[in-house]
Amino acid sequence: MNVPCETFDLSVLTYPQFLKFFFDRPVVGDEKEYDLFHSGIDSFVATDPATVVAHLEAMCRDLSELPSIYSLEQLDQGLWALFGAGIRCGKYLFDCDVNRGARKSCVESMYLPFKDVVARRITDIRESFYWMWWDTILHDFNLSPHEYEY
């Protein structure tokens, strides 16, 4: 019996919907996080990856303001899902269909969460997504097309 695969196009989300999709969720344990974001969705795509890159950049620029809307736990869980959990939005930073300047600007904006959020935290960042942020980006870089190879 063939079960239809449900594909979710991240690029159809407006920026507020993008934030809500990743951050406006109940906080669950690590073992339930994958199911929380995948409930009924088999795969994530972006028919317009430039939109996802723009949302990522806007999120990085706004991240210091988001704790007024979402809890730190919701933000942490959402960041893990955004860059991991099989969704892997970071891969669009290496998509050659996205303007190089937009990709570069997005990566440069990732400095802001560390300047505006991490530097001001009083808790140990090793207990948060921030500790692994760049590792997840490098993971997507390693999976990128081979024009990035030397």
Taking the model in full, what pTM does it have?
A: 0.87
Would you say residue 98 has pLDDT above 90? yes
Tokens 């994958």 found at: 34
Q: What is the pLDDT of residues 55-86, one digit of tens each?
A: 999 999 999 999 999 999 999 999 999 998 78
The rounded distance, in Å, linking the Cα atoms of 64 and 101 is: 24
Q: Look at residue 113 in the predicted model and tell me its pLDDT.
A: 93
Would you say residue 144 has pLDDT above 60? no
Q: Look at residue 5 in the predicted model and tell me its pLDDT.
A: 67
Do the Cβ atoms of 51 and 101 come closer than 8 Å?
no
Bridge partners of residue 44, in order along the sequence: 8
Q: What is the pLDDT of residues 132-143, one digit of tens each?
A: 898 888 877 765
Q: Is 98 exposed, middle or buried (0-12, 13-18, 19+ CB in 10 A)?
A: buried
Tell me the pLDDT band of 150, cut-offs 50, 70 and 90: very low
Sign of CA dihedral 53, 58, 60, 61: positive
Do the Cβ atoms of 83 and 90 come closer than 8 Å?
yes
Q: Please provide residue 61's backbone torsions phi and psi, each rounded to the nearest 5 degrees.
A: -70, -30
Q: What is the pLDDT of residues 113-130, one digit of tens each?
A: 999 988 887 777 788 888
Sign of CA dihedral 121, 106, 67, 20: negative
Complete DSSP assignment for 41-57? --EEE-SSHHHHHHHHH
